[in-house]
Structures are given as structure tokens and as C-alpha cells.
Amino acid sequence: MRTERDSLGEKQLPDMAAYGINTARAMENFSLHHKKTNRNLIYAMVTVKKAAALTYAALHVREPGIYEAVAAACDDILAGQYDDDFVTEALQGGAGTSTNMNVNEVVANAALKRLGREYGQYDVIHPLDDVNRGQSTNDVYPTALRIAAILQLRRLSDACAALQTVLQEKENHYERTPKLGRTELMDAVPITAGEEFGAYAQAIARDRWRLYKTEERLRQVNLGGTAVGTAENASRQYRFRVMEELRRLTGIGLAAAEYPMDTTQNNDVFVEVSGLLKALAVNLMKIANDFRLLNSGPCGGLGELSLPPLQQGSSIMPGKINPVLPEMVMQCAMRVMANDSAISMAASHGELELNAFEPLIADSLLESIELLERAVILFRTKCAEGLTVREEQCRRHLEQSAAFGAQYIPRLGYDVVSAVIRKYGPDKAKQALDDMMQHI
């Protein structure tokens, strides 16, 4: 065991623990045993620390080799060598300070290890004086959240593009397959199965465009603004050079916020992004539920779609196959909608110069993006790609309906067509209407 000290006293830590006393206190204080801080957020924070270390190395802060070791330690962390040492809970007080402390301590100790030193020798490399130099949780944490969100949103956009392609392929394949269109679950007018898939594809296309545009909002970061956006303890040279390094490391066109105090205290950009994720969730839920309805039966329901059979659907009813993928997608969509509400509430509580509830915003936002990406991929590969349209069933439903009636209204009038359908029923009304048309 090793002993570490802070302003509150001493604590014993395992010799092999790369985290330090601040992390240990956070583990005790926030022992929810709920879920850990999102790993993508951690890695984005480590990338920020690497950008800062490379900047200070270039500015010749401290003796040669120190900040080079810090940057190399960040690479070790990003390679997954220290994953078990990131132990803070996702939900924590302090606006994410505990997670920033966790990252600072692990980076410092990983750098000490690279120099052949023991964990905890902070007189050589200090978690705060060196790793956190010129920084604050209040600029590192939101900057990292933006980076993590952008990278994940790009993957989600790619997943949506692939789903859109599949839906368009179905649109083309079934463009000449007639079927009954329905409004309010009731018979309406004739359409084609291709048109139905085309409408789904258009909805996903809009979601792709929305996700693409959100990156513009997320690119402005407050790194260098430190505590409240006034750049306290961050040199001018550092502020400019660290942004260049961060752009290079991430491949993202990041820009320094025009008004860092605004970016530090206001989280409406995350509410906006969450709202667009919710829009995607709404469309996915609608499409997934349509697939369930059209697949229903297959004997006692609509039975116009045939979804790929994935698993047995009942422990008591032999042969039953359930639409499990659409049901999973719908539940993911529900969680995203719930996360949107949490993000909205948390963002509205950004009292004065800082929002203390950014951990909830970060966890909810990144969870929503991750859930949607995985749900979209599974929806495409295990459901949309393998589904087929039961063309005979579609034709049967269309022929048994009165969907043909609308085409006669311009010549015969609504009331006349309606009366004929009521009198003869759908199976004989068409012939009666055709006869009436010949005598006009």
C-alpha cells in the first residue's frame, strides 16, 4: 500500500492502482454502483491532456522529457492499458471534477512508470501542477464531451446511411408491388410496397442530414477558458497552440469558442443535439412499429411483411416467432427519448457560471448516440436486409377493400361513390361504379 495526501488528510491506496487520492475519495462518495463514466469520454479527455502535454513540451515548460513522458503515457492509456483504473461513476457531484481528477492521476502515474518511477511520486510529475496545467474541469470536460460526441455522431451517421441504402433497395425491388395503403389503421387508397419503403428511406435521410449539421454546433470548444471562461492561469501561447494540437490529434475542425464564458455555463448545444437524436428515435420507432404491424399474424394479422425469424417466440406456444428486433429498436428509442428529458432538465440547471450537472448530460447524450448506432446497425443487418413482402397477401387485401373508390369521386362525387360502396360492398361496387361511369 502507498500513502497519498490532500488538503483533507491521508488515504491508503493499493500499490498497483494508477489512480490517486482524489479518485479514491470519489469512489467512496459516489458509490452508486450504477455505471462507470463513459469510456469514450475518458479517452477524449486523455486526448485533451495529450494535446496540452505536446503544447507544453513545444513551449519548453519544465525540463526535457517530462511532458514527452506525459504524452507517451496518454498513448498507453488510449491503447487500453489502463482501462481498469478509470473507476469514477457516471453520475457524480462537482460538474465532472472527479473524472478529471481520475484522468489527471492516471496520466501522471502512467508517465511516472514510463520514467521508471513509482506511482505516487508526484514531486516528479504532479497530476494537477503538470498534467492539469493551464486547465480546469470546466473547460476540459465539456471539450472532451464535444469531441466524443462528434466522433460517435459520425459513426451513427454512417449507420443511418447504410440503413437508408437498404430501404431504398427495397423501394426499388417492390416498386411494382400493389398493396393497400392505410390511414388511422383503416383501409385508405392503393399504394405500392416500394412507395412505403421509399417514405421510410426519406425519413432516415433527413436524420442523416440533421446529424451531419450538428457537428457545426459542437466544434466550438472552451478549452483554455479554464474555470469560468476567463482563461485564468492559462497562458496566451498555450491557448493558441493547444487548439492546433487538438485539431491535429482528433482530425476534427475544432475552433476556440468566440465567448468561452458562454460555452462554459450554457449547455443548450447538447439539448439541441439530443433533440435531433430524439427525432431519429421517433422515426426509428415509427418504422419498427410499422414492421411489427405489417408482419403481424401471420395468419390472424396483416401478414404483408415477413421478417427474418431470429429466435423462438414463446416458452408455451410452439412455432411462434416474435418481431424481436423491431421491439428492441423501439425500446432503444424510448430510452433515447427519456435521456432527452434528462438532458433538458440538467441543462436548465446551469446556475450562474457553471452547470454542475454536466455528468448527467454527458452520460445521457453519449448513451443515446451509442444506443442509436448499435440499434440502427442491428435493425439493418438482422431485420431490414432480410425482410420480404408477401405480395399475394398484399394483393388479396387490396382486392378485398374499397380502396379503389377515391378514383371515382372526381366524376361521380363523394356521396354517390360512398352510397354505391355501402349498397354493393367492396367486391361488387367497382363493377357498379364502372357501369355508372360509362353512362356519364
Provide φ and ψ at 142, rounded to 5°.
-65, -30
Q: Is the peptide bond before 127 cis (omega within 30 degrees of 0)?
A: no
- DSSP per-residue string spanning 369-380: HHHHHHHHHHHI
Q: CB-based burial of residue 383 (10 Å sphere; 0-12 exposed, 13-18 middle, 19+ buried)?
A: buried
On whether the CB atoms of residues 288 and 330 are closer than 8 A, the answer is: yes
On whether the CB atoms of residues 389 and 193 are closer than 8 A, the answer is: yes
- Torsion angle defined by CA atoms of residues 406, 409, 415 and 418, in that order, rounded to the nearest 10 degrees: -30
Rounded Cα distance between 419 and 424, Å, is 9
Task: Identify whether 314 is a catalytic site residue.
Answer: yes
The type of residue at 134 is G
Q: Which three cell numbers stand for residue 128?
A: 494537477
Rounded Cα distance between 61 and 351, Å, is 36
On whether the CB atoms of residues 369 and 153 are closer than 8 A, the answer is: yes
First-to-last C-alpha distance (Å) of the chain:
99
Runs of H (alpha helix) within 10-118: 21-29, 39-58, 66-78, 97-114
The three-state secondary structure class of 227 is: coil
The type of residue at 327 is E
Among residues 397, 204, 380, 202, the alpha carbon closest in space to that of 308 is found at 380
Q: Which three cell numbers stand for residue 126?
A: 504532479
Sign of the alpha-carbon dihedral angle for 373, 376, 379, 384: negative
**Active-site pick, 274, 306, 314, 418:** 314
Rounded Cα distance between 111 and 72, Å, is 7
Question: Catalytic residues, which ones?
Answer: 314
